[in-house]
Amino acid sequence: MNIRIKFLIIFSISAFAALSFFGYVAYDTALEESDRNESESMFEIFKSDLKTVSEAVKNNQDIEAAALNLKNLDILSFMVYDENYNLVYIAETLSILKQEHIKQLPHESTMGTFDISNAKFHWYTDTVPEKNLTVAALHPEFQKQSKTFFAQMGVTLIITAFIVLWSAAWSAMYIGSLFEKLNLQKIELEKLASHDSLTSLPNRMLFNDRVSQAILCSLRGNAKFALCFMDLNKFKQVNDTLGHQVGDQLLQEVSERLIEKLRKSDTIARLGGDEFAFLFLNIDKQGAEIAVNKIIDEIERPIALSGNTLNISGSVGIAMYPRHGAEADDLLRHADDAMYIAKKAGIRFYHYVDEDDIKEKNSDQQFTAQPSMNDGLS
Domain with CATH 3.30.70.270 in the chain: 204-369
pLDDT of residue 371: 40
Across 25-39, 138-152, 273-287, the highest mean pLDDT is recorded for 273-287
Q: Does domain 3-140 have CATH number 3.30.450?
A: yes
Dist CA 110 CA 4 (whole Å): 59
pLDDT of residue 16: 67
Contact 173, 8 (CB under 8 A): yes
Which range (66-80, 285-299, 358-372) has the least confidence? 358-372
Dist CA 231 CA 247 (whole Å): 14
Q: What percent of the chain has pLDDT over 90?
A: 36
Dist CA 351 CA 319 (whole Å): 6
Residue 374 confidence class, pLDDT cut points 50, 70, 90: very low
Residue 378 confidence class, pLDDT cut points 50, 70, 90: very low
pLDDT of residue 73: 73
Summarised one tens digit per residue, pLDDT across range 314-372 is 999 999 999 999 999 999 999 999 999 999 999 999 999 976 666 566 555 544 433 43
Residue 250 confidence class, pLDDT cut points 50, 70, 90: very high
pTM of the complete model: 0.53
Domain with CATH 3.30.450 in the chain: 3-140
pLDDT of residue 111: 80
Summarised one tens digit per residue, pLDDT across range 88-145 is 888 888 877 887 888 888 878 788 877 777 777 888 888 888 888 998 888 887 655 4
Question: Among 214, 199, 167, 140, which Cα is nearest to 19's?
Answer: 167
pLDDT of residue 43: 64
Does 264 score more than 70 pLDDT? Answer: yes
> How many CB atoms within 10 Å of residue 3?
15
| Mean pLDDT, residues 217-227 | 89
Q: In CATH, which superfamily holds the domain spanning 204-369?
A: Reverse transcriptase/Diguanylate cyclase domain (3.30.70.270)
Does 178 score more than 80 pLDDT? Answer: no
| Type and span of the H or E element at 364 | helix 355-369
Does 5 score more than 70 pLDDT? Answer: no
